[in-house]
Structure formats: C-alpha cells, structure tokens
Amino acid sequence: MRALAERARAALAERARRGPGRRLRDDRGASILEFAGFLPILLVVGMAAIQLGLIGYGINQAGTAARAAARAESLEPGTGAAAGVAAASSWLDPNPVPGGGGDLTTFSVTVTVPSVIPLFDDVDVERSVTMPTDTDPD
C-alpha cells in the first residue's frame, strides 16, 4: 500500500514539474474522438432544422397560392387554379382545389414538402382561403 502511495506522489510531482502547458501522452487525440462521436448527432439536428425550415416555407407557399387562387377566382371565374399554381414554387407541386360558391370563393392548395431526412416521408401541407366573390354588375 505504501508503494502505491509513493508512486502516486511521484506522478503528481512529475506533473507539477512539467507545468500546466504540457500534457501526458495518453490525452492526445481525445478531442477528435469526442467530436467524431458527437458528429452524427450534430448532423441529425442540422437536418431536422433544415426540414422544419422547409415545412415553414411550404406552409407559406401554400397560403400564398391559396390567396392568389381565391383572389383570381373571385375576380374572374376559371382563372383561380392557374393563379394558384403560378403563385407557388413549382418544386413543391402545388395542387389548388376550388370550393364554395355563391357569394364566397374558396380555394384549398396542397403542397408536398420533400423530406431531407431519408427515414421520413414527404410532408403534405394544405392551406385554404375564402374571399368574397366580386359581384360587379358590369
């Protein structure tokens, strides 16, 4: 037991002699191993943030397309679907569907947001807008 205590004291004295700026050999490379172990977690968190951003963008594009489609349809019947497709990004594959009638014009637009993370499916986002129909007597 006494020999073990002597070895521990000798190791502490050696560390004190080397000073704070010098490391033991067995510490080299530890930080790169920690980083390599943590890297997959960082990648998944980054991809999830990108996916949430794309979903938010898809929600915005679906709302914009639905608003444009309802506005165009309320002013001139038959033009809403084309206006809805033109108002959204084409890579989201917008699908405008008319609804309602009479004094109100309704359009629902569904867009498909592609998945960034390979294990998850694409996300469909739908937004609807209702506007009063322009009943101009000309």
Q: How confident is the model at residue 11 (pLDDT cuts 50, 70, 90)?
A: confident
In whole angstroms, what is the distance from residue 80 CA to residue 50 CA? 31
In the three-class reduction of DSSP (H, G, I as helix; E, B as strand; rest coil), residue 77 is classed as coil
Please answer whether residues 83 and 68 qualify as being in contact, where contact means their C-beta atoms are separated by less than 8 angstroms. Answer: yes
Residue 24 scores a pLDDT above 60? no
Domain boundaries, the chain: 37-132
Nearest in space to 120 (alpha carbons), one of 51, 58, 56, 62: 51
Question: Is the confidence at residue 110, as pLDDT, over 90?
Answer: yes
